Amino acid sequence: MIRGWLEADVADKVPRKQRHTARRVWQRLVDEHDAQVSESAVRGFVAEVKAELANVAMDVTVGQEHAPGADAEVDFGEFRARIDGQLLVLQLFIMRLSASGRGFAIAFVHQAQEAFFEGHALAFAHFGGVPAGLIRYDNLKAAVLRILLGRDRLENERFIALRSHYGYDSFFCEPG
């Protein structure tokens, strides 16, 4: 019964201020059903049910579907690795195909634009071609000079030349 009241609040999209509080649930139990139950017991149960309902709402996901060979995602960032006993800071280029999840990764000793471009060339060779759709990026300096409105970017001229050479379009994440 209590669970039903609380689920109805959520399902019927009752405004937050008008939803059942633990005190209101307890009052209804006493007034409408002559229940002999403590308010603290009702509070505990209501808290559990509301937590369950919140988790159900939070676990909802929207699946993404990508056509095979269409899209990819790129990231280029640093990581630490111990090589010959020495701790080094290296740069990792990663490209992942969106449909299959198949990936390519290579480490560089620097994050220069040349390494970023070489990562693309090696990834395309590894995959046997260039994704036909978009390649998604965060707003890395090797590609973006300035973030404009929405998803518009002032792209680096050399990055534009890379995209033009390989014939693909870029898509940039929203900052933040």
* Domain limits, the chain: 2-58, 72-172
* pTM > 0.85: yes or no: no
Q: What is the third-level CATH fold of 72-172?
A: Nucleotidyltransferase; domain 5 (3.30.420)
What pLDDT, in 10s, does the model give residues 35-80?
899 999 999 998 998 888 877 655 557 777 888 888 999 999 999 9
What pLDDT, in 10s, does the model give residues 142-162?
999 999 988 889 999 999 999
Q: Answer for the pair 90, 119: CB distance below 8 angstroms, yes or no.
A: no
Choose among 28, 26, 21, 27: nearest CA to 50.
21
